[in-house]
Structure 1
Amino acid sequence: MIGRERELAALATSQAPVMLLRGEAGVGKTALLAAVPAEGFKVLRAAGVEAETAIAYAGLHQLLHPLMPLTDGLDPGHRATLEAVLDGTPAVAPSVMALGVAVLDLLSVGPPLLLIVDDGQWFDVPSIQVLTFVARRLGDLPVRLWVAVREGVPSLFDEAGLEELAVPALSAADAADLLDSRFPDLPAEHRRLVLEHAAGNPLALVELPSSIAEGLEPGFVPLPRRLERVFASRIRALTARERAELLRLAFDGAGRHGSGSRYVPRDVETARAMGLLEQGRLAFRHPLVASAVVQLASPNERAAAHADLAALYEADLERRAVHLAAATVDPDAAVAAALEGAARSAVRRGGAATAVQWLTRAAELSPRPADRARLLGDAAFVAGQAGLLERAEVLVAAADRADGRIASPDAVLTAAYVALYRHGDVSMHGVVAEVLRRRHAELDDAMLARLVHLLLAISQFAADPVTWRVTDELVELVRDRLPATTLLLRDAWSDVAHRGAGLRERISEAVAATDEAEPWDLMRLGVAAFYADSLADLRPYLSRMVERERETGAVTSLMTMLQLTVLDDIVAGRWDDAVRGCTEGLALTSEHGYELFGHQFRVFLGLVAAQRGDTARAAALQAEVEAWARPRKVGFLLQFAEDLGMLAALSSGDYETAWAYASGITTPGAFPAYAQHAPRTLLDLVEAALHTGRDDLACAHAAAAASLRGISPRLDLLIAGTLAMTSPSAEAFAAASQEEFPFEWARVRLAEGVWGRRQKRITEARAALTAALTTFEQLGAESWAARTRQELRAGAPSTASLTAQERHIAELAATGLSNKQIGAQLFLSPRTVGAHLYRIFPKLGITSRAALRDALESPG
């Protein structure tokens, strides 16, 4: 172990019966746990598997099943409780206390034990509850419990009050030692890149060199994404058959301690040779490898893998049902019945939260309305018993709708809006879509429009093309009954690149007709205006509405309108105002428990920080938003978080990282349907591509964007700017002149100045760079301003080569004196003065007397 002396000593000398190790993925928690001496202790290990988080007591079974032979000497009641949970299915799920007491009894009769739990964040909830109960009561028992959890992934271990040991990244010196010990012959430039991008993460230090040596590009993103991108690059190099094998291994939890995985692949030697799998056993080198394998697979590939695993676990009720459900898209009564049986089993073993999920999914897969209603009703009952009260409300409403027992679309609206805005739950899309599909004919026009607006809102936050296609299908189904404004919202929120023509005019007409409208009507138009880059036109309306809603307390509309004003401030360069708006918005969201809105304000704060060059602040906000949004699949926030990381990288000049983000947001050279964020990042992608030598991709993307002209002035600026950057000319840069978007405008001026300097167009270059510098300084974009100053210094004319007399003549000429007047002062003929100026101009890099003053006053 290199650089872990402190952690090893802490574990070896700690008297605490329980220790929680916390660190980011790849930081070396597993290796640390394996390296600590355990003399005098019997070591039992278990590792969480993400696929088993929904299987009650799966983690406890891993950890304690080897001790089951010791149960013969236990209290009969304790023995029965343990055997029922760990060796069978109890008729009645035991309480946490009953099972915890039984576990304490078991631990007391065995030898001294060291219990090691790795990847504890993936342990199922019932197992964590029992372990934390036991942990607080170990007392004088000769038992130690060490639990490793991943930073940024919440679990119940976080709330148990356990003593913690942070496992940070390695220091710079230790990281260099580790890298040199593993790769002593690494070229100097490769070594520098690995140390820079690994940032002390041991897994990255041992994984990145091989990718760089193979000519693959590391991701250059915050560490978890960077590792995933490195793994993804290797995975793409495998054959389709071998990727399919890895996918099945990933879904089966291959190689995880006690996972019980059964899948045996036919051939994974190439993956093993690439370092994706461990040598000697079927195990991924790191959980991120499995994550990358799953992420790269198509929906059809994932479904096929789950179907194969379902067949493999024919005799395992729960695993078979989970895999069958994951492999099934259309309603299937047999799969629904299997999942219902698995849910009943989970309830009997104490997995109520898991049972709610499975019963809900079983309802989705049930073809008969009566069965759907029954299953949803059962799920609501179990949710109520598990304390999931809001979820129970949603399920009750869904059960009512399933077979038309009552007409309660208002209940659907309320439940779905609460789920979305308070908790970021975009999964309600399917419920709302089904109500519209089945009951649209019986709904009045007002309720029909409200449900469509709800569907549009969920789709917007999901930011998923598949979800949008379903929404589009339903909008078209009821199109004749919808007001024109609703169709406008659909076009603006879903796909501005393909539906944006004339959108600004439609929004203006709609806003003009909102004098008597409800606040949420203007709120929705404001969101449309954001996508059409016309928030400035609505700013007076929004400001008045914000003031009104502050007084009347319509907090949902108020928070949304605050977001819109913040976005307008960001685009218009009023960044201090944007920060103040976010601060106010965060206070409101915290007060009312609107988690989704709160994370929107955080990502907007991150955008300001990133553009100003405060990369540490931007990275912290990005990590916070991603940790919340990713498990909820809130694509809107995830896209903005990617944008945040990209802008921070551009601000710091890390163009490879910027390229990794930009090319992840959109495919270069294309603007596919429903890719709402792609046009907004046009300038970023092109700039990153040009700075990383991908000129052909930059040109292709700028050319593809040319077809989007006319949608909005901001987009027109981005298009003109990127076309000028990819095919530079004075005329092309002059076309990018929309100054109402100062940050992007200044970036184009910076590019213009750099090009002009290289073309020896000194006067024009200085004018462009000076304009860019002034704007960057006004915005507080210090990293961009520093880069512009550097360009000005690099292109500044030098007076060092002038003789004393030439310098004197130049200074007099700069005041506006004629050759004759200068000659009269210096006792020279006008012709001699002209000859001197003829030599002075090239030395200063200028072509006229008008440029003399700037040249003489420049830093050079």
Structure 2
Amino acid sequence: MVMVGRDGERARLSAFFRAPDGQALVLRGEAGVGKSTLLDLAARLAAEDGHLVVRATGVEAESGLPHSGLHQLLYPLLPDAGRNSAAPSDHRPEVHRLSATTRAAFDAAFGRSDGPPPPVMALGIAVLDLLSWTTAKGRPLLLVLDDGQWLDGASAAVCGFVGRRLAGRPGVKLLVAVRADTASPFDSAALPEAPIGALADADATRLLDLHHPQLGRQVRGLVLEQAGGNPLALLELPAHLASGAGDRAGQYLLGLHGVPLPRRIQEIYAARLARLGDTVRAELLRGALDGAAARPGDGPAPIARYRMREVDEAVACGLLVVEPVTGEPAFRHPLVRSSIVQLATPDQRRSAHRVLAQLHREYPERRAIHLAAATVDPEEGVAADLEAAARSATRRGGARMAVSWLTRAAELSETRVDRSRRLGEAAYVAGQADHLGRARSLALAAAPGTDESPAAVLADSYLALYRDGEVRATHRRIVAAVERLRDSPGRRPDHLDQGPDQPDQGPDRPDEVLDRLVSLLLAVSQYAGDRATWQRTHELLATLGELATERAWMYGSTWSDVVRHGAGWSRRVERASASLEDQDPWDVTRLAVSAYHLDVLGPLRPYLERVVDRELDTGAMSSGIVMLHLVLLDQLALGQWDAAERTGHRALALATERGHGLFAHQTRAYLAQLAAVRGRTAEARELQATVDAWARPRGIGFLTQIADAVGATAALSAGDYETAFLHAIGITAPGAFRPYAYQASRTLLDLVEAALHTGRAEHARAHALAARDTGLPDLSPRLALITHGALAMTAEDDTEAAAHYARAQSHPAAERFPFELARIRLAHGIAVRRLHGAAAARLPLTQAAHAFDRLDAPAWAARARAELRAAGVAPHTPAPDPLPLTWQERRVAELAAGGLTNKEIGEQMRLSPRTVSAHLYRAFPKLGITTRAALRDALTRVSQPAPAPAP
């Protein structure tokens, strides 16, 4: 087809191809304006220029399937890459092969392995690796994506990540077309865009005259007026009016005045469809619902789609075209597909979906889409299939789709019990995915007429805890719900003696909702952090008998009081961590919290880092923020403090944006701990006061204990030992570990040091001995390290002190806790210098000073250097490298300082709110601040911003 006009668009595409570096470009315009024609032109020009062209089309039916669009786009590249990466036959250099990490990322994302789908960054890096491997053969590559508005969100996120990083990668271009009148996942991709508007009047006239030269004057004028420069309308309106003339045609066009142009064109296609036979229309409907011939490109189709047969009649009337490469019929335009679906009756659509469900029987999630639409009356087999697909989607990061499938499964359930159970499951997944309003409505539907159904209690309690920090009333309500379930017929512990020959109840056991209530009860008890609450919880667990799972006891023991109940759980936590891929994300986070309390979180952190972006991208905000907290805590323990600060600001931005009051203040508490160890006492105390003022009236002992710990550590950093001691004894009395105060054991070293420096040696010694006698060294590696350190600092003779200093510093896990180790070495050096002279003290003091410098703990480093000078050494003090803001970070910070929200900043800068949050959490530590309120003053102190990027 000859292209008329579009000189500006063609010039833009020509410049796009001439650019030496890789680029991405999004074409945006209304339906029928000619985006696909421009893509065809670009693909043809690229092929003539020697490019490898790979094409794909977004399919509306697959927009809820994670990574389905990416699979379609990359599939033509993957088979060749896979063969050569495994067994190269052309002697290419090793660097041109796909790495094992890249192949593993694709296998996980596309369901070829059991691992969790990688986060956006990991998968985006894998795609960049694949593209580099492909272009390393010497042939440039053009990726063309049509109907990008139908791409699934996970695929669009990866395409956006890749598109933003093509600069500097010559040989790769990405061209995407999206409708301007339809919400698109590319709306927030921050990629360069080219608007595609209507044809100029002269070009519209030329196009109409070229294709319909015989039109009468009146009809010609009306067509030009009504088409408004839309090329598809210019081509289709005259053909539709071919059987009419004069007034009849004019009346038809005027009758459509005010109707959106895509609707008018759909009316045209609907009229053609009405003239087709039932068999042909059924074929077209099945093809339309399955995305048949959706421009799969030159490679083989990644997943078999429906192949339309005996549809010559539809080709003849202009609804279909024959693809020249494959010879398969394809829809002339996406509006043809939507017209076919809209014109079909409900029975016709259900019949088509049944055929497609059978076609995709080997693909559970695709089959689930069609089963859900094909079934009207309750049918347990279909409901079970949908439930299974929902479980699979949940573990693959598709929580939103899982809620829809579970809701549909409930509608198709044959019994009231199954319906309620599936609605309760949908409510639970929705709650975990942070859709708390929908969770509550689903919970009420699961047990209409009552606010005290288990599902309703779960949904309401999540809201009360995480949004408002309500622990007292929430604890009472969950206890009552658990007691009702426990006492219901057939649920008493003495009814559970299944015996070895009885089958396990499996994942759908009737007590699953009880497990969830118990897990939430344990979380509420943890946040309450007081003795009475935990005792009531443990009493209730004891009455459940075998209804209380091993996991429940694991969480109840490690989250509550690790000193009294933590013995023996480390091995079991490590065993449970061996199969994280088979567990739901919320189960993984609970297990990781136990690992944190036992100081064995390190092995779980790589998994958390792999899946946290997936959880946040799919809306599972609660699990995602908890994962960020756990990553932050491990970074804090390992001395990766800059990374911990970035993680903390990211979590704070997300929690604040989502209205999670509890998570927001918990993040502030962790950032306060970080500021305290770094000696930023003013910042630490400001955050401490904010957390304490919010948490103490609500009875959230978990956070008030952290606030007291922050006060102790900040005072120690400042050398204010009396204040440090007062804060420390607010957590626990010397010589004891207050029951259910989880910070009591973690602040052992703080209390001992503060007591020693304030002349309370007997208190310090009593506390160190209590740690030994209580068995802290056997509970966790960190507690072993600081217990031996405390015993060494308070030893009554030099021999005992030397033995404990040696045991602390030689502990296998000592290097995992560099801050505590450096403090013990500093104390060791001071003691050795006083007893044995300067020479013997230099090694531990030097080790301590270097560690504090690496950690960027200047107050502690200054103390160590002072001791080194007393030992006759003048240590070197490294100057930290400056961290300037990028242009975009500076601009985002300026807008935030002006009072704009993340959403408003994103609208101004064409960024997503999440990207704005990311820029802010990177900018805050560079500016040395933690709140938006400090932005304006901080920006006035920094130098001029970096130059803006070239357009």
TM-score bracket, shorter-length normalisation:
0.3 to 0.5
* TM-score, normalised relative to structure 2: 0.42
